[in-house]
Amino acid sequence: MTAPSIGSIVIVGGGSAGWMTAAALSSLIDERSAMTITLVESEAIGSVGVGEATIPDILAFNQMLGIDEAEFMRATEATFKLGIEFIDWARPGDRYIHPFGQHGVDMEGVDFHHYWLRLRADGVETPIETYSLSALAARAGRFTAPHPDPRSILSHLRYAYHFDAALYARYLRRYAEARGVTRVEGIVTQVDRTASGEGIAAVVMASGERITGDIFFDCTGFRALLIGETLDVAYTDWSAWLPCDSALAMPSAPVGPPLPYTRSTAQPAGWQWRIPTQRRTGNGHIYSRHFMDDDTAEAVLRAGVDGAPLAEPRQIRFTAGHRRRFWSGNCVAIGLSAGFLEPLESTSLYFIQEGISRFISLFPTKDMPDILRTEYNRHMNVEFEQVRDFIVLHYAATERDDTPFWRYCRTMDLPDTLRHKIELFRETGRVFRYNDELFARPSWVAVLLGQRIMPRRYDPVIATLPVGDVAHSLRSMAHAMADAVQRLPTHADYLAHYCAAGR
């Protein structure tokens, strides 16, 4: 026996979270289905919109929707992103890139970075970025699409996007509405719980309209109107590990051609981002109010902006962490209502994407068996914890002691899972991926080495290899990559021919 199917879905809140949810769920609407999807939002309520930089997983989401890349990039004024540059994180003056894709090529079943460590032990201290096609192209300001032939060196390129998050939401709204999603304009003034009190029965609009549904998605941002205010699902606070709790965001006019990477510069009590889109540069300063006041934070932001400001700074307050349950009763929290880990590694839109994808993979019948909620919550909890560890790594693995903020970060207690990964790498150079976690070995290696955590030894399997043979292999790789990058078009030229905004 099969329980009745879900008949109505209500999404409360727009922005990237709401319209990504609506667009993905619209695939469930067809002529044979009686299911309806309604999105409720108000033009009077703005969105946070800090998620302008992405990671490569966004490509899979757009491809799932059947979105044409060039069209999407024109509509969202997007540029390409090959990685993130970190400045002044381990020590003032340090710079490294966390590139998308891997360093070098693994050989004989041994991870590439062990060969690099082998050479370093013999006094050859070539930066590991020398062996990353994405990092080299980023530094050179060049870009091309990855080659489909795996035998081509250009097949190693991986990329994501920088785009205007508000334009992305607008683009997905058109997509979703064209596929049967109904949008209701207005402000929700009341939320009615089910008779049992465990779920949501309806939302009531200022107009008096009452909108009922079988399942509700809370996309109301930090307010968490449904999951937090109504269902009172508690919040897990991670501010002891991620002490930043405020951000100031401000767009500026571009200065020069857009670079194909995000820039993150450490500041006295946090860090500052720089995200180039086709027509503007997104800037922001994330900081801890325990270590810096708002006026000083604004001064730091303005001092780090290259072009003329296009608007006044916008203040955002947050607490790093997540809901203890992401799916409670018939309510699923997506986006900021589910949790927030600062955008240091551009994961905000990824959590939206993962929350939607996991729900669709567990799509319930109307009776919503508890085991589905349990599995969803287990998965999302693990996702947040694993990304948390990767972000905390940037703060904890620092040698800076020049401000109270950095002294706190370098001495704070760490999650056991992160401490284990750091110690394993420091002692043996090994990194293992657990439970298909988002950031794979190459990402961990890039940040661990970039933050000056240097392994004490390399894989003993290659200890007997003649250092000359290892050096020759790595020189060949570096030469091939450098040569390939020099033949690439500039990022600006590629954009102009492929997806110039307004064309």
CA atoms within 13 A on the CB side of 58: 28
For this structure, is 421 an active site residue? no
Three-state DSSP string of 274-342: EEECCCCEEEEEEECCCCCCHHHHHHHHHHCCCCCECCCCEEEECCCEEECCCEECCEEECHHHCEECC
Which structure tokens are listed for 70?
């060039």
H-helix segments, 141-207: 165-178
Among residues 19, 38, 81, 495, which one is catalytic?
A: 81
Rg of the chain over Cα atoms, rounded to whole angstroms, equals: 24
Residues in the chain, total: 503
Which H/E stretch holds residue 116?
A: helix 112-121
Q: Which of 396, 391, 415, 393 is nearest to 406 (CA)?
A: 396
Sign of CA dihedral 404, 273, 249, 15: negative
Placement of tokens 């940040």 in the chain? 447
* Token pair belonging to 155: 């097949």
What are the backbone dihedrals phi and psi of residue 187, each rounded to the nearest 5 degrees, phi first? -105, 135
Of the CA atoms within 13 Å of residue 243, those in its CB half-sphere come to 24
CA distances from 332 to 2, 35, 218 (A): 22, 18, 6
Cα–Cα distance, 139 to 482 (Å, whole number): 11
- Residue 101 CA to residue 113 CA, distance in Å, equals 13
Give the Cα separation of 84 and 452 in Å (integer): 17
Spatial separation of the C-alpha atoms in residues 74 and 368, rounded to whole Å: 40
b/e burial code for range 311-350 (CB count within 10 A of at least 16 → b): eebeebebebbbbebbbbbbbbbbbbbbbbbbbbbbbbbb
CA 462 – CA 107 distance, rounded (Å): 10
Pick from 411, 405, 412, 410: which is nearest to 290 by CA? Answer: 405
* Residues with catalytic function: 81
